Chains A and B, each alone.
Chain A
Amino acid sequence: MKSAAPLDRADVRVRHDAGFGGAIRGFIDRVRSGDLGSLPVVVGLAIIWTVFQTLNPVFLSSNNLVNLLFDCSTVGVISLGIVCILMVGEIDLSVGSVSGFASAVVGVLWVNSGWPVAIAVLTALAVGAVAGVIYATLFNRLGMPSFVSTLAGLLAVLGLQLYILGASGSINLPYGSGLVSLGQQWVMPHVVAYGLVLIAGIAYFVSGYRTATRRRRAGLTPPSIAGLLVRALVLTVAIELVAYYLNQDRGVPWMFGLFVGLVIAMDYALRRTKWGRSMTAVGGNREAARRSGIDVHGIYTSAFVLCSMLAALGGVLSAARLASASQQAGTGDVNLNAIAAAVIGGTSLFGGRGNAYSALLGIIVIQSIASGLTLLDLSSSLRYMITGAVLAIAVIVDSLARRSRVSHGRA
């Protein structure tokens, strides 16, 4: 071992991708071996946007994109929960019902019983948590496959939703209240939007810079500062441009800000905490995780509870978006859109692979399709068929990429 080489660069067999050309070469290698990351989504989004923009020039207008972001936030939050449960290799098919039930709980408690809105929302979240605990108990104690228990939950919770909504079947939430304004109107002041993007860009650079410094001090090869700076700059400028474009209309919805905040928090939790590492391990090899002393049952419970709570929150947000809690809330394509978004975004159905940003990217794809088809005035029958086809393509890409990763030894 040469004393001059850093610890992690001592082996001659490893090619070290340094500098700009190295970064590109590494990226191509990863993609070829099936480690696609966000590439399929970005390509897919480009195709979808081009097609819809040529068919209807309104599609990429500021106004439509702001609406798109409002719509993304509700199902997006549900999809974030799906990412959580997919990480441990399980599934929750009842997120739609749980979200509908949560919106009904808010409607009944807040509007019909006159509870303070905050308490009503917290109760709805608690109801979601209870659903998660039940699924986790069935899974951990009785070994019931999550596929079956949540399918049963889908029906049972839908029944509960219809029961508490009673004969009327629909409760209107008061216009002008904070919750409905959040769902329909509130947007960030333009300066705040620019400022938040700038802060995020600076935080991205600073955290990367600190990592690089620590690695250099510890005698490991630091990532390239120039590359980091370029990435941070490109990302910041690109997102600032998007914010500028959205500000031509109403601006960036606060609800979307909340969604992105949750995504960032989840990303940190999954990548940088022991909990997240344990989630990935349980999803990859449950028995190995158990023998490493990880509380496997606890991890499953946290995944189920988090998924159901985020589903409940998504339900509350969609009630705010629609200003009503109805029997239709959470039915239809909510379930599938949430799951499809996570998978399209790159979270594997097979467990152990995925990231929080897949919920964000995936839901933008799904909502773009929905919005584009609505603008073209196509019937919902066609919309279902096309969304179904996109989901099928996403899963095929996932399966093929997985096979390729196995043959290239990248798990």
Chain B
Amino acid sequence: MTMIREETPPPGDVVLSLRGICKQFGAVSALTDIDLDVHAGEVVALVGDNGAGKSTLVKVLAGVHQPTSGTMTFQGKPVALTGPNDALALGIATVFQDLALCENLDVVANIFLGKELNPYALDEVSMEIKAWTLLNELSARIPSVREPIASLSGGQRQTVAIARSLLLEPKLIMLDEPTAALGVAQTAEVLNLIERVRDRGLGVIMISHNMEDVRAVADRIVVLRLGRNNGVFYPDTSNQELVSAITGAADNAVSRRSGRRATQQDVTGGHRA
């Protein structure tokens, strides 16, 4: 039922490709026949109402949940994720909504947490250099990497969490609600950050409830509804149409989509916005 539209040339090779992913929790189908493609150097926004299955999908991709059925292809090879470490080893990094930073440790320690260099005599100098390199690549404005995380603002913490996810040189990075808790300026900073990550050639999946943010950075917008694909849109889609797809409330959106399905044509580009 979904349309994987390939009429505009993709920004890069397909990094991740999902086909027919289903996930059932007992009698409940959290995900049904999900198809999703992410290209290198592309920001895909995953939107949907509460209970649409966004978080479940992210957890499947992070290796936390295993899909009931369906295939996952990563960089052209079929893969099965049996645990979070599989995902990390493949190069799928996740920035969780709560960031999962240790406030009592400094920035360097957080970036390298669990992956410290030289376990029996920590190589603080190399770690600090690498931390600065990562942060500078993101044009991050962290005053000092030797301050505990507790002294940083929400946006700076987000930056640290993103820098940490980049440490293992991932191919795909997933951000769960990266702007939910942020102010206007900090939101803009994080959005800039996402664009810079994309410009480094990474595939980005971003979950958000904020349509403005989604439209600002996403190259494609994938809508989930009740655990199913509910259309793929582009940033120039009108707000109303997006909201209709997300909520399924407006009749006209439904009819439009069925019209689209019938003709198998591009609907989102020209006649709207």
Same assembly: yes
Roughly how many angstroms separate A406 CA and B103 CA in the complex, as a whole number? 10
Is B88 engaged at the interface, CB distance under 8 Å to the other chain?
A: yes
Which of B103, B120, B132, B136 is the one whose CB lies under 8 Å from A285? B103
Give chain A interface residues in 252-287, CB to chain B under 8 Å.
272-275, 277-278, 280-281, 283-285, 287
Separation of A59 and B101 alpha carbons in the complex (Å): 48
Smallest CB separation, A410 vs chain B (Å)? 6
Q: Would you mind naming 29 contact pairs between A and B with Cβ atoms under 8 Å apart? A: A13-B143, A14-B143, A14-B144, A215-B125, A273-B120, A273-B121, A277-B122, A280-B102, A281-B102, A281-B105, A284-B102, A285-B102, A285-B104, A287-B100, A288-B99, A288-B102, A289-B114, A291-B100, A292-B113, A293-B114, A352-B102, A408-B151, A409-B148, A409-B150, A409-B151, A409-B152, A410-B150, A410-B151, A411-B104
A interface, size bucket: 35 or more
Are A293 and B115 CB-contacts (below 8 A) given A405-B150, A406-B150?
yes
Report B-chain residues with C-beta under 8 Å of the C-beta of A220.
125, 128-129
Say if the beta carbon of A188 comes within 8 Å of chain B. Answer: no
Interface residues as binary, B127-171 with A (CB distance below 8 Å gives 1, 0 otherwise): 011001000100001111110111110000000000000000000
Residues of A near B99 (CB, < 8 A) are 288
| A406 proximity list for chain B (CB < 8 A) | 150
Judge whether B116 is part of the interface by a CB distance below 8 angstroms: yes
Residues from chain B with a CB closer than 8 A to the CB of A352 are 102, 104
Cβ distance B220 to chain A, nearest Cβ, rounded Å: 28
State whether A291 touches B145 (Cβ < 8 A): no
Asked if B148 and A410 make an inter-chain contact with CB atoms under 8 angstroms apart, the answer reads yes
User: Residue on B with the closest CB to A292?
Assistant: B114
Q: Considering the complex, which residues of chain B in the window 108-124 have a beta carbon less than 8 Å from any beta carbon of chain A?
A: 109, 113-116, 119-122, 124
Of the candidates A287, A293, A409, A410, the one whose C-beta lies within 8 Å of that of B88 is A293
Q: Which of A272, A293, A405 contacts B85 (CB 8 A)?
A: A293
Asked whether any CB of chain A lies closer than 8 Å to the CB of B234, the reply is no
**Would you call A277 and B109 a contact (CB within 8 A)?**
yes
**Is A386 interfacial (CB 8 A cutoff)?**
no
Q: What chain B residues lie within 8 Å of A294 (beta carbons)?
A: 113-114
Q: How far is the CB of A125 from chain B (nearest CB, A)?
A: 23
Q: Mark A385-409, 1 if CB is under 8 A from B, else 0.
A: 0000000000000000000011011
